[in-house]
Amino acid sequence: MTAGREDYARSGVDVEAGYEAVRRMAASVARTRTAGVLSELGGFGGAFALPSGLREPVLVSGTDGVGTKLKLAFLTGRHDTVGIDCVAMCVNDILCSGARPLFFLDYIAVGKNVPERVAAVVSGVAEGCVQAGCALIGGETAEMPGFYDPDEYDLAGFAVGVAERSEMLDRSRVRAGDVLIALPSSGLHSNGFSLVRKVFDVERRDLDAAVPELGTSLGDALLTPTRIYARPVAALLREAPVRSLAHITGGGFHENIPRSLPDGLTARIDRKALRVPPIFGLLQREGRLDEDAMFRIFNMGVGMTAAVAPEDADAAVRVLHRNGVEAYPIGTVVPGTEGVVLC
């Protein structure tokens, strides 16, 4: 090790560990390569060629992180799923504009660069990109001793997609009488974990213990990755007229569904139609949370909603079923200013 590297190492930054992390993540990144990728891992910038055949291409971008769900990864030592969450939170957002994901970049900030751990995180990011059909074309791993605990890290990223301008989704197309279709979530996804961790007291609880109600351990249930809807939504947009999409993230039903509706229209949700996974019931009971709070914080088993004309609803559900999503109607669009009404 040179004198300069020794000085840097004494400050807490291990340059060699950084090189090793890049070597370990190379195979994961290679899995995500698509035809548009023009650059190699390790360059100063990721280059991507826009797909041909678009008359008026529009780039759509989204950025997000995993939030305090990362604390569950630290507690369990499982680091290979949170990368999927990171990709999902970004990609699912840009789908709501009708965009097709093209590429993704991640940012990992660590207190101590442990190559095996960083590689595990990136393997999850790569898996998310494979599920989304996009390329992981770059990223950054920043070792920040004294800023982060040596055993902790933060993870964020951003996705870029493309849409034909004339085919972009616009909430102004939604009409009273339209049907709202639920695309089921895989569980809690990546929202509300500050409350989740407090309710379940995760730092003092045996996260590996089986919970019969869940059919798995609490740790496994909480770390279930956010579902990525890119491929089924792409099929839906090709085969059925869709008026708008909503990604149900932080803020639950009440914040997100109204973002897909024009002013003067309200989502009327049939509470009894919802297929709510057991983790939500357990969370509500242990946290003594009322129903309003649950719907204002969590996705309640609905990861996305699609608004379609009544005559297109059956076809939309069939398309989603063929593409692995057990979609079902949960309500209608009605005149009103409440945003969301649960009936």
pTM, two decimals, is 0.93
Indicate whether 265 and 123 sit together in one domain.
no
The stretch 195-207 carries a mean pLDDT of 96
How much is the pLDDT for 10?
58
Indicate whether 103 and 180 sit together in one domain.
no
Indicate whether 143 and 207 sit together in one domain.
no
Indicate whether 74 and 182 sit together in one domain.
no
Residue 94 belongs to domain with CATH number: 3.30.1330.10
| Higher per-residue pLDDT: 284 or 4 | 284
Indicate whether 158 and 222 sit together in one domain.
no
The stretch 216-242 carries a mean pLDDT of 97
**How does DSSP classify residue 18?**
H
Indicate whether 225 and 209 sit together in one domain.
yes
**How does DSSP classify residue 117?**
H
Q: Which residue has the tokens 């040596």?
A: 150
User: Which residue range(s) make up the domain with 115?
Assistant: 3-38+53-167
Domain count of the chain? 2
How much is the pLDDT for 55?
96
pLDDT greater than 60 at residue 282: yes
| Higher per-residue pLDDT: 113 or 3 | 113
pLDDT greater than 90 at residue 114: yes
Lowest mean pLDDT among 31-45, 150-164, 178-192: 31-45
Indicate whether 102 and 146 sit together in one domain.
yes
DSSP per-residue letters across 188-216: STTSSHHHHHHHHTGGGS-TTSEETTTTE
Tell me, yes or no, whether 43 lies in a domain: no
Q: Rounded to a whole number, what is the distance in angstroms from the first to the last CA of the chain?
A: 68
How much is the pLDDT for 30?
84
d(CA 57, CA 264): 31
Last residue of a domain, one of 167, 192, 211: 167
Tell me, yes or no, whether 315 lies in a domain: yes
Encoded amino acid at 31, one letter: R
How much is the pLDDT for 21?
66
